[in-house]
């Protein structure tokens, strides 16, 4: 599987790329997870957008948030999503591994903090993330704070 990984600031995204990002996020977070929430949270404009493309199809995506945008003392990775059509291919593992590298390359930090959906705890632990606080509900989905140290 030949994935073309790109990273762009918000202002560098084309209309086509932005539409594909919104479409994939809605397909998974709103429709598949049956969760009505406000996806446009005014953080996209200050974040980097890491995308995995196969030809003209967006198959994987994360949003890389700078220090202080989501968490006061941490950079963060959010909106981690892979296309349902490509699950089971290892694309999610590639996405998270590459997103971690991109976050450390972009930001002068030694730790990354995420709000992970609880059912993905073991998945994120496989990359070295450790739970860093109590479970909480976000949009009626159980989450846990997790931190990865460089």
Query: What is the CATH number for 69?
Result: 3.40.630.30
| Alpha-carbon torsion (119, 120, 125, 128), positive or negative | negative
pLDDT 10s digits, 81-133: 999 999 999 999 999 999 999 999 999 999 999 999 999 999 999 999 999 99
C-alpha pair distances (Å), 28 with each of 22, 59, 87 = 10, 12, 12
Q: Looking at 39-134, list the stretches that DSSP marks H as alpha helix, in order from N- to C-terminal side.
A: 91-106, 121-125
DSSP three-state, residue 7: strand
Average pLDDT along the chain: 95
Total number of domains constituting the chain: 1
Q: Are strands 141-149 and 57-65 parallel, antiparallel or unpaired?
A: unpaired
| pTM score | 0.95
The domain in which residue 39 lies consists of 4-117
Residue 145 lies in a domain: no
**Sign, CA torsion 29/61/41/106:** positive
């Amino acid at each position: 599987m030949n994935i073309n990984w790109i990273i762009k600031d918000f202002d560098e995204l084309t209309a086509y790329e932005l539409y594909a990002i919104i479409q994939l996020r809605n397909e998974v977070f709103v429709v598949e997870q049956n969760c009505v929430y406000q996806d446009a949270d005014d953080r996209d404009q200050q974040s980097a957008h890491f995308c995995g493309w196969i030809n003209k199809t967006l198959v994987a995506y994360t949003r890389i948030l700078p220090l202080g945008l989501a968490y006061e003392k941490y950079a963060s990775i959010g909106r981690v999503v892979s296309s349902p059509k490509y699950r089971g291919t290892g694309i999610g593992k590639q996405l998270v591994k590459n997103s971690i590298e991109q976050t450390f390359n972009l930001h002068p930090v030694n730790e990354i903090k995420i709000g992970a959906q609880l059912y993905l705890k073991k998945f994120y632990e496989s990359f070295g993330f450790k739970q860093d606080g109590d479970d909480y509900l976000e949009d009626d989905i159980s989450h846990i704070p997790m931190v990865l140290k460089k």
